[in-house]
Amino acid sequence: MGDGVSAPARTVAEGAGLTRRFGSTTALDGATFAIPSGVTGLLGANGAGKTTLLGLLLGLHRPDEGELRVLGLDPTRAGPEVRARIGYAPEHHRLPPDTRAHDLVRHIAEIHGLPHRDATNRASDALWAVGLGEERFRPVGSMSTGQRQRVKLAQAIAHDPALVLLDEPTDGLDPVQRDDMLALVRRIGSEFGIDVVVSSHLLEEVERICDSAVILREGRVVASGAISELTGQGRGVLVEVDDRPEEVAGRLLLRGFEVSVDGFRLTVHASPDHEPGAVHDAARDAVVDAGVGLRRLSDRTASLEDVFLEVGA
């Protein structure tokens, strides 16, 4: 924010103890989460419960147990009202092949409650926004996979939703198209001011564009929070010295820190019991006390993939 004071993140959706069963299969098993404003990644392997959770957010399923609020409403009771404020882009690429992109986007905008004239104008704007301005009167069937992904994105934002749900938005795209699509999704979340939930199994993508993530495994939320929290801050520090790393490690061990040594590089693990910044101070002091040169001192960060593996997702 311009004044340097960050406002508390608004919660777009939150669930507590959500359980959803389909026959003998438990798709969601007591999932508890909070999705803040911004761009949030919904991560998990196939069958982890991502699609079921999207269905719950849209009010298409009723949870067997637990409570859910989306945009301040209970989607099981106010499904149409919630869905009127949500844009949704499905994973599949099948769209009516003989329909022009502009007609499709306008129609979905009208279905979401926009009057015909406004829907017409906004359909054009949305297609321009996703980079299909010049192609907007082409039949969807004549478009490439990348263009269809953009059409799906355009129909999801044309009615100016408060929240957009994107299911695997880069599926089927080549690397260049994927970069463009990710930039577009990021732009929707930041520049357009629309909160976004991206369901994906591609960790690197989520890490690149998301502010936060919810990681699912076998229907349970195994990790959630801001990407910065999940991947780094508070996890410890990396220290690289020019001599006697074992001595530095010994001094850190005496101070109560867990340390692993790899050559001249030490990884110092912080635990939640330690004060913020204590690990940095301890590393500095250990290096000074050992009388060795310091080559590097940095936060110990992990990729989202490390987090993913760590929680067993």
Partner 1 sequence: MSDGGARILDRGYRRYDGHRTGVAGSFRTLVVHSMQRALGLKRSAAQKLLPGLAVFIAYVPAIVFVGLTVLIQDTLLANQNLVPTYADYYSFISAAIVVFSAFVAPELLCTDRRTGMLGLYLASPLTRNSYLAAKATAVVALLALVTLGPPLLMLVAFTIIGQGPDGPGALARVLGEVVLGGVAVAVLPASLSLAASSTTTRKAAASAAVILVLLASTAVTETLVEEAGAPAELFCANLLGLPFELVRRIYGEPSPDVAVAGIQTGTLIAAYAGWTLLFAGFTWLRYRRLAVDR
Site of interaction with partner 1 (CB under 8 A): 51, 54-55, 58, 60, 79-81, 83-84, 86, 88, 90-92, 94-98, 103, 107-108, 110-115, 118, 122, 125, 128-129, 133, 155, 157, 159-160, 165, 167, 191-193
DSSP character at residue 234: T
Q: Which two tokens stand for residue 151?
A: 């059409």
Give the nearest distance from C-beta 142 to partner 1 in angstroms: 13
Residues composing the chain:
313
Give the nearest distance from C-beta 1 to partner 1 in angstroms: 19
Find how far residue 60's CA is from the centre of its chain.
Answer: 22
Find how far residue 100's CA is from the centre of its chain.
Answer: 31
> What does the radius of gyration of the chain's CA atoms come to, in whole angstroms?
23
Those residues whose C-beta lies under 8 Å from the C-beta of residue 90, and which sit 6 or more positions away, are 152, 167
| Strand arrangement, sheet containing 195-200 | 86-89, 163-167, 195-200, 39-43, 212-217, 220-226
| Nearer to partner 1 among residue 138 and residue 300 (C-beta) | 138
Give the nearest distance from C-beta 271 to partner 1 in angstroms: 41
The answer to whether the CB of 269 falls within 8 A of the CB of 238 is no
Give the helix/strand (H/E) hosting 303: none
Q: Which backbone phi and psi does 99 adopt, to 5 degrees?
A: -95, 135
Give the nearest distance from C-beta 85 to partner 1 in angstroms: 9
| Nearer to partner 1 among residue 94 and residue 263 (C-beta) | 94
Give the nearest distance from C-beta 160 to partner 1 in angstroms: 4
| Nearer to partner 1 among residue 78 and residue 297 (C-beta) | 78
Give the nearest distance from C-beta 207 to partner 1 in angstroms: 24
| Nearer to partner 1 among residue 200 and residue 231 (C-beta) | 200
Pairing of strands 294-299, 236-241: antiparallel
| Nearer to partner 1 among residue 33 and residue 88 (C-beta) | 88
Give the nearest distance from C-beta 147 to partner 1 in angstroms: 16
The DSSP annotation for 70-129 comes to ETTB-TTTSHHHHHHTEEEE-S-----TTSBHHHHHHHHHHHTT--HHHHHHHHHHHHHH
Q: Which two tokens stand for residue 165?
A: 């749900």
| Nearer to partner 1 among residue 27 and residue 304 (C-beta) | 27
| Nearer to partner 1 among residue 151 and residue 248 (C-beta) | 151
| Nearer to partner 1 among residue 111 and residue 288 (C-beta) | 111
| Nearer to partner 1 among residue 38 and residue 232 (C-beta) | 38
Task: Give the span between the Cα atoms of 215 and 159, in whole angstroms.
Answer: 29
Pairing of strands 265-269, 236-241: antiparallel
Cβ burial, residue 80 (10 Å; 0-12/13-18/19+): exposed
Give the nearest distance from C-beta 157 to partner 1 in angstroms: 8
Give the nearest distance from C-beta 68 to partner 1 in angstroms: 16
